[in-house]
Chain A
Amino acid sequence: MLPCGIKQLTGFDCPGCGFQRSLLSLLKGDFIQSFEYYPPLTLIIALMFVLILHLFLDLKYGATILKWLFITTNVAVLINYIVKMLSLTS
């Protein structure tokens, strides 16, 4: 697996840590394990899917859906990071 530069330099997890483990267990077909490693992955995949769909088919409300999906994904990543850091330190 690819090493995380921030974790190697500072010793702390970055907001994206867990993404690669999650993606690999998703490729193996282990959905539950994938969700446990990195919950926002589902939203990120949905975002990519809508993005590709909008790129090729030019959906009517594509831009609005993309905007709100983007905001939701960011909030989910932030919440995931805060919860993870709290559970690691406590």
Chain B
Amino acid sequence: MVYNTEHIPLLFILVFLVIVFIQSGVDKIINWKGNLEFTLSTLSSKIPSFLVVFALFIVLLLETFGGFASIGGIIELIFCKDQYLWAQIGITSCSSALIVLLLGQRISQNYVDAKTIVIYFIVALIGLTLVF
């Protein structure tokens, strides 16, 4: 099989997103109570608690869906010629999850932790420019 080497940067970005988001999603599922308590303790003074639960659930859905869609993107990139459909879906979903997380950190006025999300967001943005 002749492999098209121009897709290697996108392949690494997808692997990065899979590692980050599936770990995060699985951790949120296994330790849901601990995650919820931590998020509520930082955010409940700013916005109502049912909104915090809803936002955390949305983040969980976007993260796991984005992670598994990125796995699909890797398979598609290897076995199909020049098709990015699942890579597009995966990277867009992961970027949306990062935006929601950033919003949460900004609302809780935790500016130092908001900076650390930008590290992941830069990688996702490079992926977005490669895919669209």
A: residues with CB less than 8 A from B are 1-3, 24, 27, 55-56
Q: Does B75 lie within 8 Å of A2, measured CB to CB?
A: yes
Q: In terms of DSSP, what is the predominant structure of the interface of chain A?
A: helix
Q: Which residues B32-60 have CB closer than 8 A to chain A? A: 32
Q: Which residues B85-107 have CB closer than 8 A to chain A? A: 85-86, 89
Residues in B with CB closer than 8 Å to A56 are: 32
How many residues of B are counted as interface, with CB atoms below 8 angstroms from the partner's CB atoms? 11
Q: Does B32 lie within 8 Å of A1, measured CB to CB?
A: no
In the bound complex, what is the Cα–Cα distance between A2 and B32 (angstroms)?
32
Residues in A with CB closer than 8 Å to B32 are: 56
Residues in A with CB closer than 8 Å to B79 are: 2-3
Residues in B with CB closer than 8 Å to A27 are: 89
B119 within 8 A of partner (CB): no
B2 within 8 A of partner (CB): no
Interface string of B63-94 (1 = CB under 8 A from A): 00000000010011001100101100100000
In the bound complex, what is the Cα–Cα distance between A55 and B79 (angstroms)?
35
Residues in B with CB closer than 8 Å to A3 are: 79-80
Q: Does B89 lie within 8 Å of A1, measured CB to CB?
A: no
Q: Does B72 lie within 8 Å of A2, measured CB to CB?
A: yes
- In the assembled complex, how far is the CB of residue B89 from the closest CB belonging to chain A, in whole angstroms? 7
In the bound complex, what is the Cα–Cα distance between A2 and B56 (angstroms)?
30
In the bound complex, what is the Cα–Cα distance between A66 and B98 (angstroms)?
32
Write the chain A residue with the least CB distance to B85: A1
Residues in B with CB closer than 8 Å to A2 are: 72, 75-76, 79-80, 86
In the bound complex, what is the Cα–Cα distance between A2 and B89 (angstroms)?
13
In the bound complex, what is the Cα–Cα distance between A24 and B72 (angstroms)?
13
